[in-house]
Amino acid sequence: MGVKHPPSSPGTPPDAAGGGPTLIVPLTSITERLALENFFATPQPMEVELGAGDGSFLARYAQLHPERNFLAVERLLGRLRKLDRKGRRAKLANLALLRIEAAYFAEYLLPAHCAQALHIYFPDPLPKKKHRKHRLINMRFPQIARQVLVPGGTVYLRTDDADYFAQMQEVFGAASDWFTPVETPAELAAVVTDFEREFNAQGIPTRRAAYRLK
């Protein structure tokens, strides 16, 4: 598959703070699918967060589920380093981090049928109408999710933006041949992001949706 939209910055210098070796994995190629067997010490089911932010969700969720591996993808280095420190303080051997743009990563670098779940929480809403097609969850996204999820894998979505939430529902509603809506498990919903906590404190509700690959 050809390269259409190269990521902004594939390289990531190590960050020594937090104790132990960095969890940030350097990318050796931005055109070849990842060799995920090199990312984790123990082979086990893997989940991916696209746009991990400061890692407040994934650092906690990876602690709750040592029987799964977690891959965090984030474009901004400062946020990724924050998650790296959290992960190393918690000694999370089941967490790996990549610095790259999420949409490009999902389409061009993730191997086929490698992920049990995709977590996408509070992605940039790009509120201008002309930019909606550039949102991460657009009409092409179900095809990409179908490519990387295992059969029965699930896409978990959260946003505070009503318009973006409507687009998410429209996108996956149009992909009903592939995906069926399901409930977000209560345990998963209880693990909130820092953004989510701030929004909820202001009275802004979390809008959640989940779709399972048939």
Per residue in 50-88, pLDDT (tens digit) is 999 989 999 999 999 999 999 999 999 999 999 999 999
Q: CA 214 to CA 146: how far, in whole Å?
A: 9
- Please tell me the CATH code under which domain 41-213 is placed: 3.40.50.150
* pLDDT digits 0-9 by tens, 9-30: 444 444 444 567 899 999 989 9
Q: The pTM is what?
A: 0.90
**If DSSP codes are grouped into helix, strand and coil, which group holds residue 181?**
strand
Dihedral sign, Cα of residue 24, residue 27, residue 31, residue 33:
negative
* Residues labelled catalytic: 124
Domain extents in the chain: 41-213
Distance of alpha carbon 81 from alpha carbon 14, whole angstroms: 9
> Hey, CA dihedral for 60, 65, 66, 68, is it positive or negative?
negative
